[in-house]
């Protein structure tokens, strides 16, 4: 690490750290980005995990919020090698009877395929989609100063209930299951207040921009962001874990893309006792158990809609998903866990050798669990794709300890930077007028432990940088 003086230093090169570094470097400052691992990306990394020639995304795999992000969408990333691949169907939700509901990029097509619930689906999503651009600016930012308060209020009326409560709008198992499978990305019980918001936001993203994946792997997005940052004059140092602020070169501002646990370790001696107390009480959510496969052929889903989808939610009815997510929250390991499944190679030939395929999946488990869920996940896939197990020629698994080792931000396997429930939605990581600030002058938090939380959108980093630019450098961004 160079011992030069910088205007700002960003610790951690996940999507939020990259966003923060870029936002500050765009203003002509000198910015240093420090990453502990040998490659940048955080949750945006890809690797041949199973067999040579099979490229797997280690964490994030599908990026609906990256293409609609108010910040990332404005960057010229295509000039730095990024291109997205869009599946014909964004998400599918199979049932035990061999049918599947599908989330199509077209709102009209999705509604049409829901039969008796077509009108209810249109009535729920059409008004929100009409105002999506303004809505996304507010829901992906801090709560204090919404730019479109009336639009946000209309969304809030629909988003505040639990996912189970909102699903009562629908009569069919197809519409209810489709919404429940998307809402379960909240990684918490579907009976929790405001879990409807997660389902609404992700489904709106489908109709507004799709659920794409970077061609070649998630690492392509990280590399494009990093290359753009460097092209602006930014500097990146990898292979350097920061354990204390005193290890850093002089700078006027430090932005940390870390969760409260690491924040206390790195900068705790600079904080007030009350702020430290709040960080110590911060709550992490369920963890994940992840499996990647090298396959001898495409996954043989029974339902045709699943064979056209990039993402498949495996859990049958919304009632079954809700029951199993509650069991997991209560510390148990369901036999038929809700499973998120992605099949990149069906749409991206760069992911596997000719004639071969990849698959990516995870289920939720109690935080810190080391139980091997491989069989449970594979049985869940086989349930909706008979013959899947016969196609497996390579396998790579990660329990919560492995997930945290891969990325120290994933405490106990929590990939969301802390549970995103109603009590931590806008108060993460602590109750402050600006959640990105700390009691220490010049020290900011820019991770998914700040609003708006987890997801590949970079907005936590952007808003933290915006605050630091104003406070420290007198630069006000719109």
DSSP letters along 185-232, please?
A: GG-S-TTSTTHHHHHHHHHHHHHHH---EETT-THHHHHHHHHHHHHT
Q: How far, in whole angstroms, is CA 161 from its chain's centroid?
A: 22
**Which residues does residue 200 pair with via DSSP β-bridges, in sequence order?**
none
CA angle (275 as vertex; 272, 279 as ends), nearest 5: 135
Q: Position of tokens 């596997």? A: 352
The whole-angstrom separation of Cα 313 and Cα 66 is: 20
What pLDDT sits at residue 144? 67
pLDDT tens-place values along the chain, 478 residues long:
555 699 999 999 999 999 999 999 999 999 999 999 999 999 999 999 999 999 999 999 999 999 999 999 999 999 999 999 999 999 999 999 999 999 999 999 999 999 999 999 999 999 999 989 888 888 887 766 778 888 888 899 999 999 999 999 999 999 999 999 999 999 999 999 999 999 999 999 999 999 999 999 999 999 999 999 999 999 999 999 999 999 999 999 999 999 999 999 999 999 999 999 999 999 999 999 999 999 999 999 999 999 999 999 999 999 999 999 999 999 999 999 999 999 999 999 999 999 999 999 999 999 999 999 999 999 999 999 999 999 999 999 999 999 999 999 999 999 999 999 988 877 899 999 999 999 999 999 999 999 999 999 999 999 999 999 999 999 999 7
Residues 6 or more apart whose Cβ sits within 8 Å of residue 7? 24, 29, 30, 31, 251, 252, 253, 473
**Which residues does residue 236 pair with via DSSP β-bridges, in sequence order?**
33
The whole-angstrom separation of Cα 52 and Cα 358 is: 12
Phi-psi map region of 115: left, alpha, beta (phi>0 left; psi -120 to 50 alpha):
left
Q: What is the pTM of this model?
A: 0.95
């Amino acid at each position: 690490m160079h011992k030069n003086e910088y205007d700002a230093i960003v610790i951690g090169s996940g999507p939020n750290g990259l966003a923060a570094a870029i936002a500050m470097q765009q203003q002509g400052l000198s910015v240093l980005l420090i990453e502990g691992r040998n490659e940048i990306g955080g949750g945006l990394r890809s690797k041949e995990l199973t067999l040579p020639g099979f490229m797997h995304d280690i964490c994030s795999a599908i990026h609906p919020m990256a293409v609609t992000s108010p910040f990332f969408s404005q960057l010229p990333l295509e000039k730095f090698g990024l291109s997205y691949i869009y599946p014909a169907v964004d998400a599918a939700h199979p049932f035990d009877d061999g049918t599947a509901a599908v989330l199509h990029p077209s709102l009209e097509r999705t509604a049409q395929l829901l039969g008796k619930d077509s009108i209810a689906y249109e009535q729920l999503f059409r008004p929100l989609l009409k105002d999506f651009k303004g809505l996304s600016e507010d829901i992906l930012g801090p709560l204090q100063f919404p730019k479109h308060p009336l639009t946000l209020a209309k969304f809030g009326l629909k988003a505040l209930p639990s996912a189970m409560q909102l699903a009562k709008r629908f009569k069919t198992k197809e519409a209810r299951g489709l919404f429940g499978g998307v809402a379960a990305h909240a990684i918490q019980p579907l009976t929790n207040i405001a879990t409807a918001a997660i389902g609404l936001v992700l489904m709106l993203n489908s109709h507004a921009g799709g659920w794409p994946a970077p061609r070649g792997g998630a690492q392509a997005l990280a590399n494009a962001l990093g290359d753009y940052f460097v092209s602006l004059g930014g500097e990146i140092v990898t292979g350097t874990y920061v354990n204390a602020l005193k290890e850093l070169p002089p700078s006027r501002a430090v932005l940390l893309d870390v969760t409260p646990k690491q924040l206390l370790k790195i900068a705790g001696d600079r904080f007030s006792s009350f702020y430290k107390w709040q960080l110590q009480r911060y709550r992490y959510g369920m963890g994940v158990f992840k499996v990647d496969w090298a396959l001898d052929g495409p996954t043989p889903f029974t339902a045709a809609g699943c064979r056209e989808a990039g993402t498949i939610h495996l859990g049958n009815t919304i009632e079954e998903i809700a029951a199993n997510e509650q069991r997991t929250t209560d510390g148990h390991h369901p036999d038929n866990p809700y499973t998120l499944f992605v099949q990149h190679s069906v749409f991206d030939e760069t992911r596997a050798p000719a004639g071969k395929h990849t698959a990516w999946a995870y289920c939720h488990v109690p935080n810190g669990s080391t139980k091997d869920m491989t069989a449970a996940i594979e049985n869940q896939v086989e349930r909706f794709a008979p013959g899947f197990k016969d196609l497996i020629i390579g396998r790579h698994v990660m329990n919560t300890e492995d997930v945290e080792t891969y990325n120290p931000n994933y405490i106990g396997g929590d990939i969301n930077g802390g549970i995103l429930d109603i009590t931590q939605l806008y108060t993460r990581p602590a109750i402050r007028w600006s959640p990105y600030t700390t009691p220490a002058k010049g020290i900011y938090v820019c991770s998914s432990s700040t609003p708006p939380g987890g997801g590949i959108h970079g907005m936590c980093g952007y808003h933290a940088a915006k605050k630091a630019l104003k406070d420290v450098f007198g630069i006000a961004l719109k």
